[in-house]
Amino acid sequence: MKKLFVTGAIACAALLAHAARAQSIEAPRYVNGQGIEVIQGRTTPAAAAAEKKQDAAPRAAQAVRTVDGTAAVADPRMRVSVTEQRTRDKDRLAILNEELAREMGEYNSKSKILNSPSMRDKLPPAELARVRELAADHEKNIQALMSEIAGVRK
């Protein structure tokens, strides 16, 4: 009986030590651009230490401060020329404008249905509610695209 008790006590102590070690690792958290807190997965202490060792050298080589205090990337593979960045920005702006035109077309077709009494009366109530929801979604997408386009132009 005593042997069973001692074995059980050792097993409980081992489980408690493992649980305490697993809970002592803080999960990485950050708040994204939309204000939503994101909690990332936890890593084991050994994996975290190995990752820190592995990432220390490349980060030290890349983090170079310029005279004005901004960070500059030392690795030439990570640099983008000014002309290439302008080309990318123009492409992005063109894509955003295409999406905006598509969303506006969809919104106009839905609002035409909602604003026309003859078309509105032909729809059953469930379909009419769905068209209203779609119009609201298109309106939100238009606002989001316009704010993103304004950010690209700055």
Contact present, 87 and 122 (Cβ < 8 Å): no
What's the gap between Cα 76 and its chain centre?
A: 27
pLDDT in tens, 114-135: 999 998 888 999 999 999 999 9
pLDDT in tens, 5-25: 666 667 666 666 555 555 555
pLDDT, residue 76, reads 73
Taking CA atoms, 148 is separated from 27, 43, 68, 79, in Å, by: 31, 35, 28, 24
Contact present, 131 and 75 (Cβ < 8 Å): no
Q: Which domain holds residue 98?
A: 82-153
- Residue 113, domain member (yes or no): yes
- Residue 1, domain member (yes or no): no
Q: State the average pLDDT for the chain.
A: 77
- Residue 148, domain member (yes or no): yes
Find the radius of gyration of the CA atoms of the chain. 28
- Residue 141, domain member (yes or no): yes
The three-point CA angle 89-85-91 to 5° equals 30
Give the count of beta carbons closer than 10 Å to the beta carbon of residue 42: 13
pLDDT in tens, 81-115: 889 989 999 999 999 999 999 999 999 999 999 99
**Total count of domains within the chain:** 1
- Residue 116, domain member (yes or no): yes
- Residue 7, domain member (yes or no): no
- Residue 45, domain member (yes or no): no
- Residue 55, domain member (yes or no): no
